[in-house]
Amino acid sequence: MSWSKLKQNLESFLAPALDGRVEYRATSYSYMTGKSGNCYITVDKKNIFNMNDKTSPIRWYQTEQEIKSDPELQIPVSPEEIEAIRKETNGNVPEERMKIMARNRKVTTYAKEILTAQTALSKSNFTAVATRFLASSIEDSLESSDILLNILALMDRRVGKKRILSMSSTIKLKHPIVQYFYELRLGKC
């Protein structure tokens, strides 16, 4: 599928509140062999989603330790996760320490998921993922571990306000760029 047709299809699915604010753009290097084009997403004419751009307002993590030490990272811990720690330690650990242990385990898992998703994204081709998005269901795209599929689904007009609001707890466990587009869809950006 040509870029212009793909762009037209993607923009036809934009939520009405994002129409005119969000654009899909691409650069191409027709005279440089071996150099592929670069696709990115702009919001209000500002380049927001492009992993290669160091001026992006979204943080891209390089290591697991960066994720673990990020003070803005909020990861909720459920009573079930604390109970699992209690069973493993036979109740010999104070309650406060169990919460810390459960959070640390969850942060480690979360960090690995984020880094895996970022790695897959940097290797993926925007057009291939966008084509896959157009051919798959919204549910599959929202539940995917692929960052770009999550973003495209969040901006889709087929995802209603009620569904967006019900996703608030699961979005906290997604990459910061997915959280940004969630906030954008809510109208907070």
pLDDT at 53: 47
pLDDT digits 0-9 by tens, 6-63: 889 999 999 998 988 999 887 755 554 544 456 778 899 888 877 554 455 556 677 7
- Domain residues of the chain, as ranges? 3-57+124-186, 65-113
161 pLDDT higher than 70: yes
Radius of gyration of the chain (CA): 19
Nearest to 117 by CA among 149, 144, 146, 140: 146
Q: Which of 20-34, 44-58, 111-125, 141-155 has the highest mean pLDDT?
A: 141-155
Among 86-90, 109-113, 134-138, the minimum mean pLDDT is found in 109-113
Mean pLDDT of the chain: 81
Percent of the chain with pLDDT over 70: 84
Exposure letters 138-160 (e unless 16+ CB within 10 A, then b): beebbebebbbbbbbbbbbeebe
Among 3-12, 103-112, 157-166, the minimum mean pLDDT is found in 103-112
Task: Tell me the average pLDDT across 151-160.
Answer: 93
pTM as predicted: 0.67
DSSP 17: G
Residues contacting 25, CB < 8 A, separation 6+: 39, 40, 41, 42
187 pLDDT higher than 70: yes
Percent of the chain with pLDDT over 90: 25
pLDDT at 92: 86
d(CA 30, CA 27): 10
